[in-house]
Structure 1
Amino acid sequence: MSATTMVPDYGVATQADVAGLTGRQILERFIEGRLPAPPIARPMTFWLTEVGDGFAVFEGEPGEHLLNPMGNVHGGWALTLIDSACGCAAHSTLPAEVGYATIETKANFSRPIMRDTGRVRCEGRVIAKGRQILSTEAKLLDRDGKVLAHGTSTVMAFGAR
């Protein structure tokens, strides 16, 4: 489906949809709704809201659907936000026809996330970029700017150069 036709809310962009686009251009099209949001965004209730060179922001809404048996939001949700923000920060620096994959993500949890925490913001940044390996970091913040979790990801770029 091309960017000029109606794009579904959730789905997977085709190779034709992203051909010739840089990583940042692809991410901008997600934000603009010209490409479908990835299917993981629906059950995880988070979405990409900002992108810059080496920078990406996700926002998310915790809720009852994310609770662990103890009644807190499962740490895997925070880790997934951190991995997503880090990966997209890296992707924003990549040229057309170059993809990426996470090699490793680590997180530290600073405060519990509850179903009523409200909207959170996860800011990812590239901190070092080699030819193929990128190091990134992210902070997951509550609405008052308090750190809920923070982490790092190592990302590998691959594909045409």
Structure 2
Amino acid sequence: MTTRTRTYHWQEPASPPDLPGLEIMRGLLAGEIPPPPMIQTLGLDLIEVETGRVVFAVKPAEYMYNGSGIVHGGFTASMMDSAAGCALHTTLPAGVGYTSLDLSVKFLRAITEQSGAIRCVGTLAHVGRRTALAEARMTDATDRLLASATSSLMIFR
């Protein structure tokens, strides 16, 4: 059995800049704002940002595998939670935060390195005063649906 290692780096987490969420997300996309450590831990790339919608991409790797030799469901759920939350973030004014209340994930296909690059699109479905609803869809390189999720989020005003 061959031992493998994985090394990654992150910057010390800073307080979020006092900017509207869309500007923060665009700053992350442009590399002007450092990504949160969790995004770097997962190895996600933010590739698209617009109001109410974000897209993350990742190439599955064996460090993500569970004991069955496929990407762990927790990794998939984390990526989908990030996409759903960031979709909401794009609509929030400066100084307003959020957190996930729940996440319901449907795992539809196994994900492995052979799946190729995967994309996770987070879209905002509804925003109220205190809560929001967002959706996430994960697809493979051939646009096959791998997983789907809905997330309820609490808004801190």
Q: TM-score, normalised by structure 1?
A: 0.87
Match of 2:11 in 1: 11
The Cα of 1:38 is off from its aligned counterpart by 1.6
- The residue identity in structure 2 corresponding to 1:67 is Y
2-side partners of 1:149 and 1:95: how far apart?
30
Q: Identity over the aligned pairs, expressed in percent? A: 36
Map of 1:157 onto structure 2: 155
Pick from 18, 21, 24 the counterpart of residue 23 of structure 1.
21
Which digits, 9 at most, give the CA deviation of each residue in 1:99-120, with x for residues without a partner?
Answer: 1111101100111001221110
SS in 2 for 1:18: coil
Change in 2 beyond 3 A, CA 1:50/1:84? same
Q: Distance in 1 between matches of 2:45 and 2:11?
A: 13
Structure 2 partner of 1:4: none
Deviations 1:76-123 (A, max 9, x none): 111111100000000001001101111101100111001221110000
Residue 108 (structure 2) aligns with: 110
Aligned with 1:72 (options 53, 70, 77): 70
Aligned partner of 1:54 among 44, 52, 55? 52
Matches within 5 A, 1:128-147: 128-147=126-145
Q: CA deviation at 1:51?
A: 1.1
The alpha-carbon deviation at position 13 of structure 1 amounts to 5.0
Equivalent residue in structure 2 for 1:91, among 83, 89, 92: 89
Aligned residues between the structures? 149
- Say which SS state the counterpart of residue 34 (structure 2) adopts: coil
Separation in 1 of the partners of 2:140 and 2:126? Answer: 26
Contact 2:13–2:37 (Cα < 8 Å) also in 1: no
CA distance in 1, matches of 2:86, 2:130: 15
Distance in 2 (CA, whole Å) between partners of 1:41 and 1:101 is 15
Distance in structure 1 (CA, Å) of the matches to 2:67 and 2:56: 26
CA shift digits 1:40-84 (9 cap, x unpaired): 223312122111111111111210101111101111111111100
CA RMSD of the aligned region, Å? 1.4
Aligned-partner Cα distance in 2 for 1:14–1:93: 21
Q: Which residue number in structure 1 is paired with residue 122 of structure 2?
A: 124
| Whole-angstrom CA distance in 2 between matches of 1:11 and 1:25 | 20
